């Protein structure tokens, strides 16, 4: 029997953020095949028949960049009919967050990618497909998550200083926060606990190290601490 409706293809795209060199960065791949060969794009690809969307996202990210074991959360579905010149392709986007320690893992571009590289969100190349739109939406959602959940802590090492935590928020929101108000708000939420350790290799008075004691992604109104 002839199908009444053509069947669209389903893809996944994974926007991976990290804080590196005091900058919010996103992981991009250079496409090794058409369409948009040699253009930079968000890692991703088509979903296989027998895998879930999340399985496809993890596989594509590892195949095209070498990055694995990341925090992964579904973002949004993009389905404009003309978004892909190959035909009707609906993509389910995810965002992944990895801290600086994990982001140091070697990037290995394979599959349809010829190169993988971290880019500052302030200095992006021209992107293939509708990936500029997807990335813009991902940035909006990332900031919302930082305001109302504990997601920010997934970008920190297991033990961190209050200065590191505040700097993380300032980088993501691209603005300064009042130190006293920020710390007062963080302490009032009972999110962190002091360890018995201090930060080493610093010239001035070494600050205390803290650890996070809640669940990543938990709903908590963290910001704005000084509005």
Token code pair at residue 41: 């794009």
| Helical (H) or strand (E) element with 57 | helix 53-65
The CA-based diameter of the chain, rounded to the nearest angstrom, is 77
DSSP state letter for 5: S
| Token duo for residue 52 | 């879930």
Q: Which residues are catalytic?
A: 115
Residue 29's alpha-carbon distances to 19, 118, 140, 197, in angstroms, are: 18, 9, 22, 39
Token pair 């009032």 in the structure block, residue: 188
CB environment 183-193: b (16+ within 10 A), e (fewer): bebbeeeebbe
């Amino acid at each position: 029997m002839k199908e009444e409706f053509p069947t669209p293809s389903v893809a996944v795209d994974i926007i991976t953020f990290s804080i590196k060199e005091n900058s919010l960065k996103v992981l991009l791949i250079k496409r090794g095949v058409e369409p948009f060969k040699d253009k930079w794009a968000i890692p991703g690809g088509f979903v296989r028949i027998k895998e879930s969307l999340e399985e496809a996202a993890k596989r594509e990210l590892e195949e095209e960049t070498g990055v694995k074991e990341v925090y992964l959360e579904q973002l949004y579905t993009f389905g404009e009919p003309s978004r892909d010149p190959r035909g009707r392709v609906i993509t389910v986007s995810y965002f992944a967050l990895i801290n600086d320690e994990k982001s140091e893992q070697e990037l290995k571009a394979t599959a349809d990618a010829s190169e993988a590289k971290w880019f500052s969100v302030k200095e992006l190349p021209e992107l293939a497909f509708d990936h500029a739109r997807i990335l813009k939406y991902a940035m909006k959602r990332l900031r919302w998550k930082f305001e109302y959940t504990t997601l920010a802590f997934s970008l920190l090492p297991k033990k961190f200083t209050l200065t590191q935590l505040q700097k993380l928020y300032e980088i993501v929101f691209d603005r300064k926060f009042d130190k006293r108000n920020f710390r007062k708000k963080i302490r009032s939420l009972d999110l962190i606990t002091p360890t018995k350790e201090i930060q080493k290799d610093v010239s001035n008075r070494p600050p205390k190290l803290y650890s996070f004691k809640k669940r990543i992604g938990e709903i908590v109104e963290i910001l704005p601490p000084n509005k």
